Amino acid sequence: MRKNWFSLVLLIAFGTALAFTTALNIYLIGKSREELGRSVLRNPASLKTVKKHFIAILPAISDPFFINLFYGIQQGSTKETAGLELLSYSPEVEVNQFFLSAEAYRFFDIALRSKPDGIVMYFPPGSDIKSFSDKAQDKQIPFVPIAMDQPVQGIPALVTSDSFVQGSEAVSVALGLLGKDARIGVILPAGNPNSFILSEEPFLNGAIFEINRRQQGKIVAAEREEENILGGEDVCTTMLQRFPELNCFICTSARSTVSAAQVIIDRGIVGKIVIIGSDEDLDVARLLEKGVIQATIVRDAIKMGETAVLSLSQKGVMSKFAPISKVSTYTKYGKTTK
């Protein structure tokens, strides 16, 4: 009898606790809904309705240039009140004769079938950009390609940086440090059969222009880095062996900048070789702070991305755009922009 009474007390206690917990949950849910409703009514402007659908197709590379390029695309999409969809393809996927991965082609076809209000897409040097533009035009979908430089044959509505200006600025900084004694090696990006020949490379032509304008220093070598992960280090080592008078490396990417710095560190000649880098990531910033590299020239990738997206809404989307020529020079002492 006493056992049954104790069980009854426990049952009543557990039942009361359960009822109280259920009531509390119902109360809290109600309050949450009430507060949510009040918040929406207080801030109707926070409820944004997108008016357009844009698609960006970019390589899945952690290079700072592409990080900033995507940030600019996001900014442009926000200004256009557009929803942005990113399709990022791996550059490691099988590459066909036009130097874009098969995945990039597949994403472009998917984008066309989606019938968005516009597509922006990055193209590496040597890509057949015109065939993509023609397909988009056939589907009547606004399309703005992005590349480092305008190909020799010229592509309408292509947003580019200005490697000529970047090369000129890099040499200007090098001459400011070394003057007439500058003996420069230029590390150009890896190429393919459709890339610029060396005499047409905008970056190298900008560097040569500045040498001739200043009548100082000399470019003793210009080589392309290999595509593999140690390609930059290999070309730096080869240059130093073939041209012992070399006292300055000028680089065209964050990867080649870090590669050149690694070679200088390994050889124990930090401070004896000037390095003018390109772009900026955490590694480049660290090397700059430690004095391993003396400066880095950064393209305005954010402006490139934003310009590409805003151009989608222009009626003259087939017009030719001027290159985004602004570059910023970073040293351990600060930043200057031209």
Scan for tokens 């470019």, then name that residue. 219
177: its two tokens:
């440090």
The model's pLDDT over 123-167, given as tens digits with 9 standing for 90+, comes to 987 788 889 999 999 999 999 999 988 876 677 778 999 999 999
β 334-337/327-331 pair status:
antiparallel
Scan for tokens 């060396």, then name that residue. 198
Q: Residues of the chain with pLDDT > 90: what percent?
A: 49
160 vs 73, 126, 142, 305, CA distance in Å?
A: 14, 14, 17, 10
Predicted local distance difference test score (pLDDT) of residue 336: 77
Q: What is the mean pLDDT of each run of 10 residues along the chain (338 residues)?
A: 56 61 54 46 56 92 86 94 91 53 91 94 86 92 90 78 94 96 92 71 94 96 77 87 95 90 94 91 89 93 93 63 78 73
What are the E-state strand segments in the chain? 52-59, 82-89, 118-122, 143-147, 159-160, 183-188, 218-224, 248-251, 274-278, 295-299, 327-331, 334-337
